[in-house]
Amino acid sequence: MELNTLKPAAGSKKPRRRVGRGIGSGLGKTAGRGHKGQKSRSGGFHKVGFEGGQMPLQRRLPKRGFKSQTLKFNAEVTLADLQKLGQSEVDLLVLKQAGLVPLLARKVKVIKTGEISIAVKLNGVAATAGAKAAIEAAGGSVA
């Protein structure tokens, strides 16, 4: 293989379409633009979503919903998960290594789902009121 023998892959390069070059080319006369109308004129252009003055689709439909971009940084852990984990001290790093929260997570909250019977100390992990009460009842603490 030499530099002077390099060629693009077969079929990857198409010749430029030359419009308005006579009837035999198949793209003569109107040059593929059809007859009349805004899109047939030179400089005839409109913005995306324009429907000729009719109320555009994106304005006809109702506004609905919102998805927070910060939601991906929040995570939840249940009491049952902490019970299965079996660690005495739990922080964000421990939960990430155990695979209980995604690696992107920055804030973690323990929710009261399931039971806990082991004493667990939470460091830098929030808990709901019910979960906090359950952890403290089992002899643990929430820092």
Predicted pLDDT at 85: 92
Chain segment 16-65, per-residue pLDDT in tens: 999 999 999 999 999 999 999 888 999 988 899 999 899 999 999 999 99
Average confidence (pLDDT) over 75-97: 94
Mean pLDDT of the chain: 94
Share of the chain above pLDDT 70, in %: 100
User: Using alpha carbons only, what angle is made at residue 94 by residues 89 and 97, rounded to the nearest 5 degrees?
Assistant: 155
Instruction: Spell out the domain ranges in the chain.
Output: 71-142
Provide the 8-state DSSP code for 94. Answer: H
CATH number of the structural domain 71-142: 3.100.10.10
- Tell me the residue type at 58: Q
Strand duo 74-78 + 107-111: pairing: parallel
- Tell me the residue type at 50: F
φ, ψ of residue 32 to 5 degrees: the values are 80, 10
Predicted pLDDT at 46: 84
Q: Which residues contact 62 (CB under 8 A, 6 or more apart)?
A: none
Q: Count other Cβ atoms within 10 Å, centred on residue 2.
A: 5
